[in-house]
Amino acid sequence: GTARKERAPMHGSSDERTRTGMSPESLKRAFVDSMFYVQARYWEVATPHDLYMAAAYTVRDRMLERWIRTAETYRKADARTVCYLSAEYLLGPQLGNNLINLGIVDSARQGARDLGIDLQEILDQEPEPGLGNGGLGRLAACYLDSLATLSIPAIGYGIRYEHGIFDQKIVDGWQVEDCDLWLTNGNPWEIPRPLLRYPVRFGGHTEPYTDEHGRFRVRWVPELDLYGMAYDTPVLGFGNDNTNLLRLWHATAGRSFDLQAFHKGDYYGAVNAKVGAENITKVLYPNDEPEVGKELRLKQQYFFVSCSLQDMVRVHLQHAPNLEGFHERFAAQLNDTHPSIAVAELMRLCLDEHGMDWERAWEITRRTFAYTNHTLLPEALETWPVELFGRLLPRHLEIIYEINARFLDELRMRYPFDPERVARMSLIEEGPVRRVRMAHLATVGSFAVNGVAAIHSELVKSTVLRDFHELWPEKFHNITNGVTPRRFIQLSNPDLCGIITDLAGPGWARDAENLRTLEPHADDAAFQQRWQAMKRAAKERLAARIREATGAVVDPQSLFDIQVKRIHEYKRQHLNLLHIVALYHRIKQGTDSDPTPRTFVFGGKAAPGYFMAKLIIKLIHSVAEVINRDPEVNQRLRVVFVPNFNVKNAECIYPAADLSEQISTAGKEASGTGNMKFSMNGALTIGTLDGANVEIRDAVGHENFFLFGLTVAEVERTLAEGYRPWEYYRSHDELREVIDLLRSGLFSHGDPDLFRPLTDSLLQHDPYLLLADYPAYVEAQARAGDAFRDPAGWTRMSILNAARTGFFSSDRAIREYCRNIWQVEPMPVSLAAGNGSVP
């Protein structure tokens, strides 16, 4: 109360600033202090992990004033806030990024050096928070960085998985999954908030009753209750003082464990239920899995959404007497359909917990949410069996039925003679197993829907959400994805950062359009030399990493041709392999016409249950084994697989690429974001007209991009006309020889059956049209190989790629979300202006 406010000690005073100073001297003193007071270690026995922890706490202390001041500023201004709801945040290591965003990299390096420590060794200690599968989770992390950098009041809400994405080990060329243990040695970046907990309920039944005003109401009598507890991580902006909040929820057992068992006096049953409750945030689900036993996944989704909405309601009620105006305080972005149960949960909170009537609740709900679609793949569009839904969330199923009943009534009025359309648009898919269509729920319950690249957004409108687009054309947007230049240039590629800073000044990383200052130097010989040295150094670093991880030796002079991303048939790592085997075959036959030495680098995880993807990993290793040990070939070709592709490895890989493989079947990759990271680091792309490749090619210039392959329209036509891959096999000699080699046992120690599932799939169905695209791909690869033999020409193209990809900064993407979707304004925080009270 007031007494506390009056007695509040001054904060942000010179004392405080001395304690958390940024000079090498201050950092050093704080580091030594943390070693003593936090790690409780003396110098001689400190492990590398102790050094990392002490460094992390030193840096964290320097983030807190900004963080607290930011919370205070937003709260006092009663600022409209973005809530990003995402089941995944693939953050990657925090220490290096936080040093950059605080602007103290040099200070820290100096301080460490004074103590006889190499900063890099400390950075290498950090286990990465891999709380995401791939592109979607990494996008969420880039967006948090940009939101803070653009001074946008924002909270990231998600799940604190105890085990993130699995560790990939390779045993005899096969992927083996190992448990991720990122939390075992402690996480210095998070602040547990044991008192910030919300109850979350599951199961049971609902019952009608009449409230004190004589109104009909529904009460949910759940079977199980548990709590979600907040763990907060600060997210620094770059070049400003704003520091936003990432709030991840951890599940703990509720007050009475299992209500039923407890009431029945079944103590041990209740204890078991407690264990079950805590399982909810145990582990991240790898995606691309067949849908079985996913009950826990729906529980995870509801769990984090419910905690997040209850948290938003709490904040809202600090400023307002009721939920009126909730949608003016918050814009909540649904990162894919994973959090789309939020639509039903906010309805429930408004109706059941806050006594609002249906119309008002619906108005508030659909003005709160916006939905981003990230995929058109039918198998990735989430639906939940009605039976499962009703068992876990009986009240929500009722609400969804009611939303649907009202929606279908509207549709029937609008399309009285089109019952098929009405059935197509229903939130419920009819069939032997009735299912809830989460994308429809998200679309109906949101004020905006967007795709993640221009071509993808058009396809959303013309395919999966076509009927909805016809009904509400103004609801649909495109916001092409972006990536943060802080992590993917400044942190990953210090030499490139130096080059840009010399030309554009230190502010470039806040405005990536400044990369254009590189453009006039594209033909300058001295500049080209510096550029080549930068690339060369990055390739040497990657070569060293590869040697360490796999034992393989690669030549940094060769063309580094890299494909890193999740392993999936639609991404066509096996098309890349067909080309590699063709090159091998040509060398063995003496018909080779592409003498450019190449190193092919692969990396990526396969979903544990995705057999074909795992077989592709085995095939990469098998081809690598044969090629790398054949002296007739291995001076010209090398193939390596970097195990455990994650953010940390990625930072070392993107800067080292000459050629970036973006070769998905047109229409399948919603956007891609690796494509952007490669380009920004001066790689040329070999790619199809898919996802953001289309816009990258337009941005960098068609002459600086190796295009090949069928367009979306051609893919559709080819399939519609009855695609027969066998005919390509028959009529294309080299293609036939390549596939026959795969079936010969050459790459499988004489076992002709090992890769049969892959070759059979290609010859019989080839749903991703590898054979149709093969000739064009091989031809584009030949162009790339030729171009690489002209260093000046290649370097020019490389420079132009980096210079022209500023558009793909996540800052641009977030500006578009702010303006076109969220209607939110920046709220800069100033440390100097803080009034000094401790909250």
> Residue 22: which of 97, 99, 122 has the closest Cα?
99
Q: Supply the minimum distance, in Å, between the C-beta of residue 146 and ligand CJB.
A: 14
> Residue 51: which of 4, 108, 10, 102 has the closest Cα?
108
Asked if residue 131 lies in contact with residue 92, where contact means CB atoms within 8 angstroms, the answer is no
Q: Sheet harboring 637-642: ordered strands across?
A: 637-642, 598-603, 559-564, 659-662, 684-687, 706-707
Any contact of residue 135 with ligand CJB (CB under 6 A)? yes
Cα distance between residue 147 and residue 73, in whole Å: 16
Tell me whether residue 651 or residue 690 sits nearer to ligand CJB (CB atom).
690
Any contact of residue 156 with ligand CJB (CB under 6 A)? no
Any contact of residue 452 with ligand CJB (CB under 6 A)? yes
Any contact of residue 673 with ligand CJB (CB under 6 A)? yes
Please give the C-alpha separations between residue 797 and each of 542, 682, 794, in angstroms, as whole numbers.
22, 8, 5
Rg from Cα positions in the chain: 28
Tokens 């550029």 -> residue: 531
- Residue nearest ligand CJB, CB atom distance: 135
> Residue 576: which of 660, 689, 674, 636 has the closest Cα?
660
Q: What are phi and psi of 561, to 5 degrees?
A: -110, 110
Tell me whether residue 284 or residue 452 sits nearer to ligand CJB (CB atom).
452
Any contact of residue 375 with ligand CJB (CB under 6 A)? yes
Any contact of residue 86 with ligand CJB (CB under 6 A)? no
Q: What are phi and psi of 116, to 5 degrees?
A: 80, 25
Tokens found for residue 608: 């544990």
Any contact of residue 580 with ligand CJB (CB under 6 A)? no
Cα distance between residue 383 and residue 394, in whole Å: 16
Asked if residue 200 lies in contact with residue 306, where contact means CB atoms within 8 angstroms, the answer is yes
Any contact of residue 380 with ligand CJB (CB under 6 A)? yes
Catalytic residue among 138, 571, 574, 605: 571
Please identify, among the stretches 5-13, 131-139, 432-440, 457-465, the one whose residues bind ligand CJB according to the rule CB under 6 A. 131-139
Tell me whether residue 24 or residue 603 sits nearer to ligand CJB (CB atom).
603
Residues 6+ apart with CB under 8 A from 54: 31, 32, 34, 35, 38, 39, 46
Any contact of residue 141 with ligand CJB (CB under 6 A)? no
Asked if residue 550 lies in contact with residue 603, where contact means CB atoms within 8 angstroms, the answer is no
Q: What are phi and psi of 758, to 5 degrees?
A: -75, -50
Any contact of residue 136 with ligand CJB (CB under 6 A)? yes
Any contact of residue 671 with ligand CJB (CB under 6 A)? yes
Any contact of residue 134 with ligand CJB (CB under 6 A)? yes
Binding mask 316-355 for ligand CJB (x = CB under 6 A): --------------------x-------------------
Any contact of residue 691 with ligand CJB (CB under 6 A)? yes
Q: Which residue from 62, 69, 197, 374 is in contact with ligand CJB, where contact means CB under 6 A?
A: 374
Cα distance between residue 411 and residue 417, in whole Å: 10
Please identify, among the stretches 128-136, 196-204, 306-314, 708-716, the one whose residues bind ligand CJB according to the rule CB under 6 A. 128-136
Tell me whether residue 24 or residue 132 sits nearer to ligand CJB (CB atom).
132
Cα distance between residue 820 and residue 801, in whole Å: 28
Any contact of residue 480 with ligand CJB (CB under 6 A)? no
Q: Which residue from 233, 287, 493, 810 is in contact with ligand CJB, where contact means CB under 6 A?
A: 287
Q: Supply the minimum distance, in Å, between the C-beta of residue 766 and ligand CJB.
A: 21
Strands 89-90 and 130-131: antiparallel
Any contact of residue 276 with ligand CJB (CB under 6 A)? no
Catalytic residue among 461, 566, 568, 648: 566
Q: Which residue from 56, 95, 108, 139 is in contact with ligand CJB, where contact means CB under 6 A?
A: 139
Tell me whether residue 686 or residue 799 sits nearer to ligand CJB (CB atom).
686
Number of residues that bind ligand CJB (CB under 6 A): 18
Tell me whether residue 165 or residue 738 sits nearer to ligand CJB (CB atom).
165
Is residue 677 among the annotated active site residues? Answer: yes
Is residue 5 among the annotated active site residues? Answer: no
Please identify, among the stretches 130-138, 248-256, 545-553, 579-587, the one whose residues bind ligand CJB according to the rule CB under 6 A. 130-138
Is residue 406 among the annotated active site residues? Answer: no
Asked if residue 79 lies in contact with residue 153, where contact means CB atoms within 8 angstroms, the answer is yes
Tell me whether residue 69 or residue 571 sits nearer to ligand CJB (CB atom).
571
Tell me whether residue 190 or residue 669 sits nearer to ligand CJB (CB atom).
669
Is residue 374 among the annotated active site residues? Answer: yes
What kind and span of H or E run contains 774? helix 770-788
Is residue 673 among the annotated active site residues? Answer: yes
Any contact of residue 672 with ligand CJB (CB under 6 A)? yes
Q: Per-residue DSSP letters for 721-761?
A: TT--HHHHHHH-HHHHHHHHHHTTTTTTTT-TTTTHHHHHH
Binding residues for ligand CJB, rule: CB under 6 A, are 133-136, 139, 287, 336, 374-375, 380, 452, 481, 669-673, 691
Q: Which residues are catalytic?
A: 374, 565-566, 571, 673, 677
